[in-house]
Structure 1
Amino acid sequence: MVKLWLAFTALLLFVLVPLELALHQVLVRFYADQVTEPLLYHSQQLANLLADHDEAIKMAPMMGQMVGGEVIVLDAAGQPVDFEGASTVPPPEAGVAAIRSGRSFIGQVETPAGDSYIVTGVPVPDGRGGVMLLAPAEPVQRSLTVARRYLILAGGVTLALGTGLALMLARSLTRPVQAMERATRAIARGDFSVRVPVTSSDEIGRLGEAINRMSAQLDAYETRRREFLANVAHELRTPLSYIRGYTQALAEGLVADPAERERYLKIVHDEAVRVGRLVDDLMDLAQMDEGQMALERLPLDIRLPLEQAVETVRPLAEEKGVALEVDLEADLPTLEADGGRIQQVVFNLLDNALRHTPPGGTVRVTARPERGGVTVRVTDTGEGIDPSLLPLVFERFQGQRAGGRGLGLAVVRSIVRAHGGAVGASSRRGEGSTFWFWLPAR
């Protein structure tokens, strides 16, 4: 703030000092003109009278009285003429020389006694001498001194007010900047609860609003990050505890029955697959969040990834005793999409449906042309979804049901949205659920 105030003050001095000097010169010229112009005029009048009548010299004292000064009349040789009321001040040599050469003269002369006079001189026509009028310079100097004093006073007051205003302006500019600096330092330390007071709508105010938005976003991001890490740790803890417990039992020879050993190995394998899929989903979501997931968009007949996903889960459905039904219309429009990612979407929806459909139930896959694109629905006959969880089913770890990882549906939503599509779900308790996604046609 001090540097800014000094900069403002220096700028003010840079403007005021030349202005003061210019005004002083203007005042000097003004007072000089106010004195010399009447002197020159009356000098010329007296010179003209002397050119016409020698007796006009008697009017010289009156001319001096009219200007409040004294009169000197020079003869053709440049010597002062003695007459009643003539000035006793010696004429300046420069003035005498100017008059003898036929030129007017304006200047100053100072007597040995210290008196100062303003002098004007004009030649008498036909080289017959000249006339000088002398006015005391003291009133002019006194007026200039007073004017200079007021000028300095006005400049000082202006400088004081200007520096005060500069201080206020510097404080008004630096105070929000300092608050922003403190806020950004706090944010850098990890305190995302700090906010900057915004008191204006200018650039400073908009910068403060941007900092507040950034702080709020970082606060929300940090909250989600902590929740995400806690959920990931929770999701990994269960399968890892199974894997550790069953492998320890197998390693220590606690299971002698071959059938029981086979069952333990299958549990370990299933949990390892579960951890692997969890890691894959986490990697996919991380890439999507950072915008690094590359989509290979090509003309796509959506029947192909749908059928491939269905065939992938068919052994699991048969093992569980769940019927898989597929109903794909023949005239589905061509999409421009990444077939591998769309197959991943359908697989995740089928996996979700199979996990929540009891033996003897049915999972049905349909595809219909709708709204300039294709809508795919995966319907199950499971237990349904609690109404409180339904709005959250596509959120990470938010809408997961028993046996779910809480990530598969989040991956579905991210992939579909990356293709410019939409997702949704509907359910009734005890009557099953329907998950759908829509993709625009090519």
Structure 2
Amino acid sequence: MQSYLVFTFAMAVVTVVLLLFAVSFTSATVEITLGGLLLFLLLLVINVWLYGLWTATRITKPLEQIAGAMQQITHGRYDQRLHYEADYEFSVIQQRFNALAEALELAEADNRRLESSKQRMLADLSHDLKTPLTTIQGYTQALQLGLADNPEQSRRYLQLIEQKTKRMDSLIDDISSLSSLNSPGYPLLIAPNDLAELLRELAAEYYDLFEDKQFTFIMDVPEEELLLPCDFKLIRRAVSNLLTNALKHNPPGTQVEVKLRAAGYNVILSVADNGIGIADSLAESLFEPFVRGDDSRTSGGGTGLGLAITSTTAVLHGGELVLDRTGRTTCFRLTLPRYRPRDLE
């Protein structure tokens, strides 16, 4: 807009010069002198030339920046931004280019995180499969070479082989489950299920395990039904994972409290403990595959997939799994939608 005003002003000046020096007014006629006309044409040409040069400069600078930034982006430098002062049209281009570059930069950062997560997951998977496999191989060779001194030792070797085999089976099962849950269009077998009754059943199953490890187990579950539209098998496994997580990653004497309550059209299941807690460095990535609360890679830990499976299951059901670390308490809170009264009519 500014350039148009400058050009208009310059043309007005040329016109005034024409009227003052080239045009002679008499009572009946208007005369234009040749010298005045030539002066007018000269000023007009100079004005148009200067305006064209000035406009070209104002256009060329933004275009050069745009071309240079686009060239950098084609080479993967998504941090490029345009910074120039220009008229409205180029300002709009600058804003939209910068917005596009920012979106590309964020997408590239996400891709790098996904690639890093993929590489770490493959390394962890290789480790978690190789560790028990190496143990199995070692005890098998010991049995083949007759290194077991007596039948009791042979049975011990066979028991260890069986344990490691079960661990590998559990790991492969978890990997298969997580892969299936992340597949588009995973078929959920939705039906009304009472989450309160499910918790009471699981509490009975886990009671001896908590007792053996000298845990204090507290359960607060309402008497009435809390019906959910859910895939019973998946939800059962998700809740089991939360209980198993509290059991495996805390020392004897830990207090574990399981609480279930209705909150509007949702139900909230909380599994809280006052155990060892979770490090800040792990809190943000805890629901990613192969992340363990104790950050260990020992064969005695879990598969590192339980919380990832539980979180994915919650999302598939329209809910969420969050970690709440208040004071010395570690609490996993699973929120799921429940049936509304009209849904059961």
How far apart are 1:348 and its partner, in Å?
1.6
Determine whether 1:353 maps to 2:246: yes
Determine whether 1:375 maps to 2:268: yes
Determine whether 1:335 maps to 2:232: no
Q: Could you list the per-position Cα deviations for residues 2-30 of structure 1 after superposition, in whole angstroms to 9, with x for gaps in the alignment?
A: xxxxxxxxxxxxxxxxx9xxx9xxx9xx9
Q: What TM-score do the two structures reach when normalised by structure 1?
A: 0.54
Count of residue pairs the alignment pairs up: 302
Q: What TM-score do the two structures reach when normalised by structure 2?
A: 0.66
Q: Which amino acid aligns with 2:81?
A: V
Asked if structure 2 preserves the Cα contact closer than 8 Å seen for 1:345 and 1:411, the reply is yes
Q: Could you list the per-position Cα deviations for residues 275-333 of structure 1 after superposition, in whole angstroms to 9, with x for gaps in the alignment?
A: 3145236526754xxx765656655432365467668x659949966787765312244
CA distance in 1, matches of 2:129, 2:211: 22
Asked if structure 2 preserves the Cα contact closer than 8 Å seen for 1:332 and 1:368, the reply is no
SS state at 2:179 partner: helix
Q: 1:416 aligns with which of 310, 314, 321?
A: 314
RMSD over aligned CA atoms reads 4.5
CA distance in 2, matches of 1:183, 1:266: 57
Q: 2:67 aligns with which of 178, 184, 189?
A: 178
How far apart are 1:228 and its partner, in Å?
4.5
Determine whether 1:218 maps to 2:108: yes
SS state at 2:80 partner: coil
Determine whether 1:302 maps to 2:195: yes
Asked if structure 2 preserves the Cα contact closer than 8 Å seen for 1:332 and 1:374, the reply is no
Q: 2:162 aligns with which of 266, 269, 272?
A: 266
Asked if structure 2 preserves the Cα contact closer than 8 Å seen for 1:367 and 1:374, the reply is yes
CA distance in 1, matches of 2:186, 2:84: 42
Show the counterpart of 1:437.
334
Asked if structure 1 preserves the Cα contact closer than 8 Å seen for 2:273 and 2:330, the reply is yes
Determine whether 1:344 maps to 2:242: no
CA distance in 1, matches of 2:176, 2:214: 26
CA distance change for structure 1 residues 208 and 251 in 2, over 3 Å: closer, same or farther? same
How far apart are 1:207 and its partner, in Å?
2.1
CA distance in 2, matches of 1:206, 1:269: 57
CA distance change for structure 1 residues 302 and 205 in 2, over 3 Å: closer, same or farther? same
SS state at 1:303 partner: helix
CA distance in 1, matches of 2:197, 2:40: 93
How far apart are 1:250 and its partner, in Å?
1.6
Show the counterpart of 2:343.
none
Asked if structure 2 preserves the Cα contact closer than 8 Å seen for 1:199 and 1:205, the reply is no
Show the counterpart of 1:400.
293
CA distance change for structure 1 residues 216 and 183 in 2, over 3 Å: closer, same or farther? farther
CA distance in 1, matches of 2:43, 2:252: 99
CA distance in 1, matches of 2:35, 2:187: 83
Show the counterpart of 1:162.
51
Determine whether 1:195 maps to 2:91: no
1:118-133 matched pairs, under 5 angstroms: none
Q: Which amino acid aligns with 1:179?
A: G
Q: Which amino acid aligns with 1:370?
A: A
Give 5+ residue unaligned stretches, structure 1: 1-18, 40-138
How far apart are 1:156 and its partner, in Å?
1.5
How far apart are 1:347 and its partner, in Å?
2.2
Q: Could you list the per-position Cα deviations for residues 182-233 of structure 1 after superposition, in whole angstroms to 9, with x for gaps in the alignment?
A: 232122xxx56x3324456634223213312421442254045314422541
Asked if structure 2 preserves the Cα contact closer than 8 Å seen for 1:395 and 1:406, the reply is no
Q: 2:276 aligns with which of 384, 390, 393?
A: 384
Show the counterpart of 2:171.
275
SS state at 1:376 partner: strand
SS state at 2:75 partner: helix
CA distance in 2, matches of 1:31, 1:388: 86
CA distance in 1, matches of 2:286, 2:47: 68
Q: Which amino acid aligns with 2:166?
A: D
